[in-house]
């Protein structure tokens, strides 16, 4: 088996490890990892890996290898069951879900339904169920539409959908405008799409000069400004939705908007080496938005079927729209994956291009 190990305190320090395949015990299945996406969201997983627990899902020590300082960055992708000792999950079953960067994984299916199962392995049992679930692609018609875009956009759009719902449920904290940083990021684009469809507030994107034309071309924002234009923004009552975790940028926004910041929603940390979020003298401070907990509360309130229906109402149209501006290449190998990984750490990505990867040879 091949897998990528990451230094938990220095994401640039990586090791591609070859190890013996794990045995499959009673009740378990081996899944070949067919393809997965790597986005800025995965960098956020690493930054908050200890705080929220992302490192624990595929902790290499739980599988018998790796040093104490090493972890496996979670990604989203597709896998196929190649060996099964679980009667309810036969060989050939294709799933979508949370995966390590590897060519295979052994999981223990439990809580099995017609739609999928949870990995109930001992080391994952205490972790958040949203990330332990694997859905059968054959049971979800959305996988037949733009399948290649699913690992790239679906987990991010879930967060976008939930941010939109959260802000609307709070009546946007009395603000008349939502400002999204890193406006070209996939989570920001999904959030802007949902907000624009709702039509309750002005939607403003902040982005780099190089991405401004692209961000404007999506039509998701009412206006787009570059980072050097922050001090020229009008001081309307605003919610800030921050995707990058760039402390210097947030400090400038707070210094300019002052008490007109009615809520600060911290979503991502793709700017992983940047300063911490400011503690402003004026304006509402940044608060972390943890999408899985908010999803869990909405599912409890609405019911699983209603939640899925509401999500699909936004997701399916967005997926079709995104296919107009995003191109996803065929699954690429190790070298291309490592290049993309390093580009993400350095903030060098093209928002119109995405790729799937595989460690299978």
Contact call for residues 69 and 15 (beta carbons, < 8 A): no
Is residue 313 situated within a structural domain?
Answer: no
Q: What CATH number is attached to the domain comprising 6?
A: 3.90.180.10
Q: What CATH number is attached to the domain comprising 183?
A: 3.40.50.720
Is residue 299 situated within a structural domain?
Answer: no
d(CA 205, CA 231): 14
Is residue 285 situated within a structural domain?
Answer: yes
Contact call for residues 266 and 242 (beta carbons, < 8 A): yes
- Domain end point (choices 240, 274, 292): 292
The widest CA-to-CA distance across the chain, in whole angstroms, is: 63
Measured in whole angstroms, the distance separating CA 220 from the mean position of its chain's CA atoms is 19
Residues 222 and 107 in one domain: no
The reported pLDDT for the residue numbered 272 is 45
Residues 106 and 126 in one domain: yes
The reported pLDDT for the residue numbered 269 is 56
Residues 208 and 262 in one domain: yes
Q: Which of 115, 94, 99, 263 is nearest to 178 (CA)?
A: 263
Q: Which of 81, 121, 70, 79 is nearest to 359 (CA)?
A: 79
Is residue 310 situated within a structural domain?
Answer: no
Is residue 318 situated within a structural domain?
Answer: no
Contact call for residues 135 and 89 (beta carbons, < 8 A): no
Residues 189 and 266 in one domain: yes
b/e code 262-285 from CB counts within 10 Å (16+ = b): bbbbbbbbbbbebeebbebeebbe
Is residue 298 situated within a structural domain?
Answer: no
Is residue 320 situated within a structural domain?
Answer: no
For 143, counting Cβ atoms within 10 Å of its Cβ (0-12 exposed, 13-18 middle, 19+ buried), the class is middle
Nearest-10 crossing angle of helices 334-345, 40-47: 70
Residues 8 and 141 in one domain: yes
Is residue 316 situated within a structural domain?
Answer: no
Structural domain for 92, as ranges? 2-145+327-357
The reported pLDDT for the residue numbered 271 is 45
Residues 285 and 168 in one domain: yes
Residues 174 and 76 in one domain: no
Residues 206 and 273 in one domain: yes
The reported pLDDT for the residue numbered 276 is 53
Q: Domains in the chain: how many in total?
A: 2
How many Cβ atoms sit within 10 Å of the Cβ of residue 22?
15
The reported pLDDT for the residue numbered 244 is 78
Q: Which of 51, 45, 73, 44 is nearest to 242 (CA)?
A: 44
Query: Would you say how long the chain is, in residues?
Result: 361
Residues 141 and 173 in one domain: no
Pure H helices in 219-303: 247-257, 291-302
The reported pLDDT for the residue numbered 6 is 93
- Reading phi first (left if > 0) and then psi (alpha if -120 to 50, else beta), residue 103 is in alpha
The reported pLDDT for the residue numbered 203 is 98
Per-residue pLDDT of the chain (361 residues; tens, 9 = 90+): 899 999 998 989 999 999 889 999 999 999 999 999 998 778 878 877 777 788 989 999 888 888 989 999 999 999 999 999 999 999 999 999 999 999 999 999 999 999 899 999 999 988 888 889 999 999 887 777 788 899 999 989 999 999 999 999 999 999 999 999 999 999 999 999 999 999 999 999 999 999 999 999 999 999 999 999 999 999 999 999 998 778 889 999 999 999 999 999 999 755 444 555 667 788 999 999 988 889 999 999 999 889 988 998 999 999 999 999 999 888 899 999 999 889 888 877 788 888 899 998 7
Between CA 259 and CA 216, with CA 186 as vertex, the angle to 5 degrees is 75
Residues 7 and 136 in one domain: yes
Strands 202-207 and 177-180: parallel
The reported pLDDT for the residue numbered 345 is 86
Contact call for residues 200 and 258 (beta carbons, < 8 A): no
Tokens representing 83?
A: 């060996």
- Domain end point (choices 273, 292, 311): 292
Residues 52 and 173 in one domain: no
Residues 38 and 65 in one domain: yes
State the pTM of this model. Answer: 0.85
3-state helix, strand, coil in the chain (%, to 5): 40, 30, 30
Contact call for residues 312 and 140 (beta carbons, < 8 A): no
- Domain end point (choices 247, 271, 292): 292
């Amino acid at each position: 088996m091949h897998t990528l190990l990451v230094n938990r305190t220095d994401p640039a320090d990586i090791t591609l490890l070859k190890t013996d395949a794990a045995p499959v015990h009673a009740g378990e299945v081996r899944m070949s990892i067919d393809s997965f996406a790597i986005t800025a969201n995965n960098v956020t997983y690493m930054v908050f890996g200890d705080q929220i627990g992302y490192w624990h899902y595929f902790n290499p020590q739980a599988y018998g290898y790796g040093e104490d300082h090493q972890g496996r960055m979670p990604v989203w992708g597709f896998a196929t069951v190649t060996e099964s000792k679980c009667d309810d999950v036969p060989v050939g079953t294709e799933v979508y879900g949370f995966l390590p960067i590897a060519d295979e994984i052994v999981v223990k299916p439990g809580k099995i339904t017609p739609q999928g199962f949870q990995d109930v392995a001992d080391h994952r049992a205490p972790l958040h169920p949203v990330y332990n679930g694997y859905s059968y692609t054959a049971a979800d018609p959305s996988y037949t539409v733009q399948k290649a875009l699913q690992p790239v956009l679906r987990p991010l759009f879930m967060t976008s959908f939930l941010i939109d719902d959260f802000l609307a449920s709070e009546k946007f904290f009395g603000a008349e405008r939502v400002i999204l940083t890193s406006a070209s990021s996939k989570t920001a684009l999904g959030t802007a799409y949902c907000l624009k469809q709702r039509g309750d507030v002005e939607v403003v994107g902040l982005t780099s000069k190089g991405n401004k034309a692209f961000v404007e071309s999506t039509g998701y924002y009412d206006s787009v400004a570059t980072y050097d234009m922050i001090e020229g923004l009008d001081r309307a009552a605003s919610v800030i939705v921050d995707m990058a975790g760039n402390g210097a940028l947030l400090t400038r926004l707070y210094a300019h908007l002052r008490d007109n910041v009615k809520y600060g929603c911290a979503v991502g940390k793709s700017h992983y080496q940047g300063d911490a979020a400011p503690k402003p003298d004026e304006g509402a401070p940044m608060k972390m938005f943890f999408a899985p907990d908010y999803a869990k509360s909405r599912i409890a309130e609405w019911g699983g079927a209603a939640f899925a229906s509401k999500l699909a109402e936004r997701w399916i149209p967005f997926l079709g729209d995104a296919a107009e501006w995003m191109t996803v290449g065929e699954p690429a190998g190790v070298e291309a994956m490592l290049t993309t990984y390093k580009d993400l750490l350095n903030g060098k990505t093209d928002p119109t291009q995405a790729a799937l990867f595989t460690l299978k040879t």
